Structure formats: C-alpha cells, structure tokens
Structure 1
C-alpha cells in the first residue's frame, strides 16, 4: 500500500518549492537572448527599404534563484556570475542599469554619426547637460541624486560641456551650496546640495557624482532608434549598418538575414563585447545566415575565434565573418551576390 502524504506536509513541500522560485541568490545567470530585426525599431525619415534584414543580438541576464542556479550548473551555454563580478563592490544594481542604458544611448549616437558621415551627410551635436552615472556613498549627493538623473542647470546656469560644469564646481569652497535642476523619469526636479572634499582626493571639491555628457545628435533626415530598456553598447555595429542602409539607395542586405555584434566608435572601429557565444546561439535560432563578429585585429582570444568555435559546436550553417571596422562589414556585404 502507498503511504499518503499528510495534507500539511504536502502544503509545506509546495510552499518550499514555490519559495525557491522567488528566493534570490547572490549570483546572476546569463543565457542566450534574442535576435531582433532592426528595421522595425530604426526609422530614417523617407529611408530606403530593404529585402533582407539586420539583427541585433542580446544576452539574457537575471538574478539567480535556486532552480536557475542549478540549471546553469548543468547547461553548457548558461553562465553564473557573482554579484561582485557584475556590479563591483561599490556599485548598486540601479547604478549598473543606469550605466548600461547610458552605454546604449552612446552606442546609438556613435552609430548614427558613423552611418551619416559614411553616407556623406553632415552631423552636429547639441549639448543638453550632464548624465549621472553613479553617486559616491557618503558624499553630499548621496540620497538626493541617483544614477540616471540628467542635470541641465546649476545655480540657474546652463553649460555647453561637462568640463565647464567641473570647472564651475572647482571654484567652490567646502560648505558652499549649489542648486541643481535635473530630470528624473521625465519630471523636472531641483536639489540644493553642499559641496565638500572627496576622501580620496582632499584637494578636490564636489558633490560626489561620476558623470558624462548628455548630448543630442542633429542630423537630416531625422532618425529614430527605439530600444526600450535594452542596455549596453554591443549593438553599435548593427545599428550603424541598418541606419546606413536606410540612408543609401543600394540595399546592402542583398536579401540576406544578417546578425552580429560589436561596439562602434565614431571613427568606425568595431570593438569586442561579452557573451558572444550566447549571441551566436540566439542568431542561429532566429535564422540568421551571416554573423559579424569583432576580429580584434586577429587576436588569439578574439570574439571572432570564440564565435567560430561556438558555431562549430552547435552545428550552425551561419557564416561567421570577422570585422575590425564598419567599412569591413560594408565591403563584405557589397561583394555578396544578390540572393
């Protein structure tokens, strides 16, 4: 005869199993994300259409629970990282997310710059203020400002660069106050904050933020890039290719489905990224036929070599193409036969 489990014990087991889904461990799990077509999210006014497609690729990352931790331990293309490996010892998750969104914004600016200049069109910039990347614990801004705030006035003054803001703050003395006007979640707010010396640099006066320029690119025709909450700089190359293709009459997709990854500098240089193995899997699942991978000038541990290894391991027919620059990718595409 089977022994029946008492109802109370059964409920306890169920609660423990469900609780395991919601109990977070001090780890993050990464796994293959998605490969997303760019034409629906990038719109150049009156841009040219394409027969194929360019795709960005992503890595999915989230806090580990008991089950995802155990799954990552046994699955080949899932990775575990400690909180310190992702966030650093002094960085909050909020600051990490703000930094990733800033890196995505900077990546879009660089991609637009590269694509328009390569298409022979002028590019200009409008300085909007300062983007707060992080706040130093224990400094005056702590508790008043947060990562992601966009400061556009200091004591009622607007500056034309972050260097001017830093120079203005450097003239202050310990105990002086500054009134900052800033945007947070599309709301205009203000805060009056004292300045004081940094512990590590007693001669340096400030409020305790790390910052970068918040600027807007001015181009004609206008371009809109909707990335929602996707963060990081790794889609830069693919953004630039999609924008360039909409700006020029020749369709360089040639009817192929093209994925890839890599940062993009304003000079068109393609840089390495993390998690390329996972992005190869995402692109293969989405049916990509070509994948651009950062070549890193032929380095033995390059993204390209890791991509080739993964492609062989999963048995994909996708062509892995090494690139060091935007021009490398365009040259390759222009030599492709029309599909």
Structure 2
C-alpha cells in the first residue's frame, strides 16, 4: 500500500516538473525562422495583372521562453534569446505589443501602397492624421506623459500633420523649453506640457524621447485590398510595394522567379533595416526563393545585407542576396534580370 502511494506521489511530482519546464513562461523571448509567404493571394489590386513567379514576404516566429525552450535555444542555429525588456516597451503588456506591431504593419502597407501607385503613375490622395507615437523612451521627457499609440496633432497649438513637422519645430527649441503637446488617445483629445532635453541618442539634439512616424490614410484608383491577417511589424513594406506595383504594371517583374525579401518602406521609397534578417534568409531558402532583397543601409558595416550574406553562406544556399536602399533599386534589379528559362 505504501509503495503504491509513493508511486502516485512520484507520478504527480513528475507531471508537475514536466508542466513547469514545458509551460511556465520565463522573462525571455525566443525568435526563430518563420515562413516565406506568397503575396499574390494576400494583395489584390482591382483589375491587376497576374505574375508567373512569386514575390514573398518573410517572417520571424517569436514567443515566450519556457525552461525547456530556453535550454533548447542554446543549441539551435538561428534561435535567438532576448530579455523581455528588449522586446516590450517599458510597462508594455503583450497585448499592447501586439497592437503596436499590427499598427506598424498597417502603416507599412499605407507607405507601400503610396510608393507603388506613385511609381506606377496611378491616382492617389493623402489624408494626414498627425504623428503616431511608436515608442516612448524610459526616463525621457515624454515618459509618463505620452504612450505608444498616441497620435500627436498639435505642438504649441500649431498643427502637426507629418513627423517632419514635429521634428523641425522641436529642433528650433533649446533644452529646458516647454512645449504644449495635443494628442489623441483612445478617441479622446488631451493636451500636456513637456520639457525638452538634450538627448544623447540624438547626438545631443533637443527632443522629447519618442519614436514617431507619420500617421496617414490614402485613397487610390484602382482600389487595392491587403489581407495580412495577424502578421505584424513594418518589415514587409518593401515586398508589399513590389507586389502592388507588379499588379499595377503590365510587365511582370518576377519573370517566372521566386523572389523574397524584407525591409521597411516609407512614402519616399526608402528601404529601412529590420530585425531577424538571418532567420528570414533561412525561411526564404526553405521556401525555394531564388533571390532575396536585403536592406543595405548605404553600404554600412554590419548592415542587414552583410548579415544576410553571412547567414546565406552558413546554410550554403544558392539563393542570391541583393542589397537595396530604395524601392527603385529593387525594381531596377528585377527589370534587368533575365527571364527564367
């Protein structure tokens, strides 16, 4: 009888141990290679042209670490561990993080639509809504006043339409100056005073300590619909712009090839760097991509492009990694690319 009781106790202990190492979250996140997804089923331009090949966005999988996954990540190539504070903003919940990522995806799509329609010489109209606060740096002037998701509409009662408006106005101030900031939060309008400081991260320029981007909506003709579901973040901007442009123009940029890539895009067509480039190289290679566009950061050392080359060499892929700084760089490369036999 005692032996039977001991077995039950040990069984319960074993179950608890297995549960603990498998499911209890740690204050870390793990990122891994995600997927390379074809964009043609996701992006639909009304009356758009078809393509023989594919343009693909690439993703990174991210999730909370458990004791088991934390240990396994130490031995898995292209699995990276990050402290919780390296992923989440200060006092930011997982829900707020996901909301921020989805909003960045929405703005990335707007920029992608804008540059694609402009380059294709199609009708487009802009409606600027203000400046979206992407993040607030801790212990900076705006900390505790502004939050991620706020939309700044006025500074000192002057209308703010674009991020450039806010930046240029603040740059004309000096440390210690106070500015009145009007912003929208959850449908309500608020006005608060912020005292400006010199910020080391801005080479001692005066600022509030926020990361910001222009918040705008656009209307286009022909219409375009993007169904990206739960994919978050701004890193698919370049590939969205190429897919939209390809559906708007008669000549097929893909020329029958499988083309992947990554990089943010703005309304000027500039390509920005992203995180997880090595993991996206792995995802693209597994999907059979022949070409991969990587942000070049104008040839800087340790750019996305340089790290992508290292990852491509590590996995011994035949996929060609191509550096790009602008939308035009990518289009120019594809236009010069020979048709696939």
TM-score interval (norm. to shorter): 0.7 to 0.9
Q: Please, which runs of 5 or more residues in structure 1 have no aligned partner?
A: 153-158, 168-177, 202-208
Which deviations, in whole Å up to 9, do the C-alpha atoms of 1:22-67 show, x marking residues without a partner?
2111111011011111111111111001111100001111111111
Instruction: From the superposition, tell whether residues 222 and 10 of structure 1 become closer, same or farther in structure 2 (CA, over 3 Å).
Output: same
**Partner residue, 1:280:** 281
Residue correspondence of structure 1 range 2-151 to structure 2 within 5 A? 6-88=7-89, 90-94=90-94, 95-128=96-129, 131=132, 133=134, 147-148=148-149
Of 335, 338, 341, the residue aligned with 1:336 is: 338
Q: Within 2, Cα distance between the matches of 1:20 and 1:123? A: 53
Alignment of 1:251-270 (within 5 A): 251-270=252-271
Does the CA contact (< 8 Å) of 2:256 and 2:339 recur in 1? no
Residues 324 and 82 (structure 1), Cα distance of their counterparts in 2 relative to 1, 3 Å cut: same
Retained in 1: the 8 A contact 2:126–2:219?
Answer: yes
Secondary structure (helix, strand or coil) at the match of 1:255 reads coil
**Are the counterparts in 1 of residues 107 and 215 from structure 2 also a CA contact under 8 Å?**
no
Cα distance in 1 for residues equivalent to 2:312 and 2:113: 30
List structure 1 runs of 4+ shifted beyond 4 angstroms: 128-137, 145-152, 193-201, 209-213
TM-score normalized with structure 1 length: 0.77
Residues in 2 aligned to 1:122 and 1:224: alpha-carbon distance in whole angstroms:
16
- For residues 255 and 52 of structure 1, the distance between their equivalents in structure 2, rounded to whole angstroms, comes to 4
Indicate the SS of the match to 2:65.
Answer: strand
Q: How many aligned positions are there? A: 314
Structure 2 vs 1, CA of residues 305 and 149 (structure 1 numbering), >3 Å: closer, same or farther?
closer
* TM alignment of 1:93-242, pairs within 5 A: 93-94=93-94, 95-128=96-129, 131=132, 133=134, 147-148=148-149, 161=161, 213-242=214-243
Deviations 1:157-183 (A, max 9, x none): xx884779xx9xxxxxxxxxx9x987x
Q: 1:150 to 1:227 in 2, by over 3 A?
A: farther
Q: Deviations over 1:206-261 (max 9, x none)?
A: xxx98765421111111111222222211111011000000001111111111001
Change in 2 beyond 3 A, CA 1:316/1:27: same
Quote how far apart the aligned CAs of 1:273 are.
1.3
Cα distance between partner residues in 2 of 1:337 and 1:211: 41
Query: Cα deviations across residues 311-339 of structure 1 (Å, max 9, x unaligned)?
Result: 11112121111222211211211232244
CA 214–314 in structure 1, closer or farther in 2 if over 3 Å, else same: same
Gaps of 5+ in 2: 139-143, 154-158, 170-181, 199-209
Take 2:110 and 2:73, find their aligned partners in 1: how far apart are those partners? 35
Give the drift of 1:7. 2.0
| Cα-Cα RMSD | 3.8
